[in-house]
Every structure is written in structure tokens, then in C-alpha cells.
Structure 1
Amino acid sequence: MKTILEALYRGQLHPDETIVPSHPEYRLLSRQVVAQTEQWRDRLGEEAFRELEAYFDLCDSVNNMQVEAAFQHGFRLGANLMIEVSIKREEWLQDVASGLS
């Protein structure tokens, strides 16, 4: 079995492509989006709908950038939390060993 680090290095790890929200309403809302998209396509016609899709693509790009920034922030926060806990654990172990607990 490969390690996560190996898979990441080899470009085999794509969490953004495999994440599916577990929120109970996700699939229902996704179906509603598809249904309403088809309704708008019928209402607007192909040309206007293509313009609307271009707008949605811009919105998706902005949203993806925000999600990426949130992921990076969360990852850094988690890593820094692990470092802090590790340092405090070492201090705690030193205190215990010296009888200061």
C-alpha cells in the first residue's frame, strides 16, 4: 500500500474530485439545480443560456478559489495545532518526569 505522501507526490491524490458532501439534503438540492437549469435553458433559448452559463462559470471560478483558500487555511491550522500539541506534550512530559505535574 502506498503512503499518502507517495500518492500526493505521484499526482495520484485528487481529493477535490472525490469529495461528495454527506449533508442529507445534498442530493435533493443537486437534482433541483439540474431541473431548474433545464427550465432556464428552455425559457431563455440557447444563446442567452450560453451567456448565463458563462456567468455561472465565472461564479464557479471565484467559488473554487475561495474553497481552495479555505482548505489551505484549515490544513495549516490543523498542522499548527498538531505542532502546538506536540510541543505542549513534550513540556508536559518533562514536567511529569521532574515531578512538577
Structure 2
Amino acid sequence: MRSLLEELCHGNMRPDVIRIANDPEYLQMSQNISEVMEAWKKKHTEDEFTELEALLDLYAQAHSMELTSTFTYGFRLGAGIMIEVLTGKEELAKKLCTFSEVQSL
């Protein structure tokens, strides 16, 4: 079994693409989305549906950016907490707030 660093190095750790597929609520929501999209497709013209898909693609891109920023901040915060716990230096959490990603949240 590889270490976490080896898995990360080999591209096997991708939090942005890991699904929560085993969550029944997630599966139900995915099914509902598919049904609503199919209903929209039947109700509207091809051009209107294409516009909807373009809007949803833009939303997905923005959401991905938000997830990346949140993940990055959370990872830094967790690492900072661990460093503070292990070193006893409590000023590190305050320094986290100077990162540019945090200011954009």
C-alpha cells in the first residue's frame, strides 16, 4: 500500500473528482436532477435547452472554484492547527488570514 504522499504524487488523490456515491441522499438528488433536466429538454426548444446547459456549465465552473478555495483554506487551517499543537506556537492561525485565498472567501 502506498503512502498518502505517493498516492498524491501519482495523481490518485483528487478531492475535486471524488463522488459521494454511497450517500443515498446524494444518489436521490442526482436522480432528481436527471429527471428535471429531461423534463426541461422535452418542454423547451433545443436552443433554449442549450442555453440552460451553458448556464449550468458556468455555474459548475464557479462552484468548482469555490470548492477549490474552500479545500485549500481548510487544508491550510488544518495544517496550521497541527503545527500549533505540535510546536505550542499560537500565532500561526493569525498568519493564515494573510493568505490571498482566505481574503477572497
TM-score by length of 2: 0.75
User: How far apart are residue 86 of structure 1 and its match?
Assistant: 0.5
Aligned to 1:34: 34
AA matched with 1:20: I
Alignment of 1:71-90 (within 5 A): 71-88=71-88
Q: Which moved more, 1:75-84 or 1:29-38?
A: 29-38
AA matched with 1:46: E
SS in 1 for 2:17: helix
User: How far apart are residue 16 of structure 1 and its match?
Assistant: 2.2
In the alignment, the residues of structure 2 paired with residue 22 and residue 73 of structure 1 have an alpha-carbon distance, to the nearest angstrom, of: 26
Where in structure 1 are there 5+ consecutive unaligned residues? 90-101
Where in structure 2 are there 5+ consecutive unaligned residues? 90-105
Structure 2 residue 12 is matched with structure 1 residue 4: no
Richer in helix (by share) = 1
User: How far apart are residue 47 of structure 1 and its match?
Assistant: 1.7
The question of whether the paired residues in 1 share the 8 Å contact of 2:16 and 2:68 is answered with no
Count of residues in correspondence between the two structures: 89
CA deviations over 1:23-60 (Å, ceiling 9, x no partner): 65222222111111100011112221011101110011
AA matched with 1:2: R
Higher relative contact order (CA 8 A, sep 6+): 2
Structure 2 residue 56 is matched with structure 1 residue 53: no
Identity in percent? 37
Point out the structure with max Rg over C-alpha.
1
The question of whether the paired residues in 1 share the 8 Å contact of 2:40 and 2:49 is answered with yes
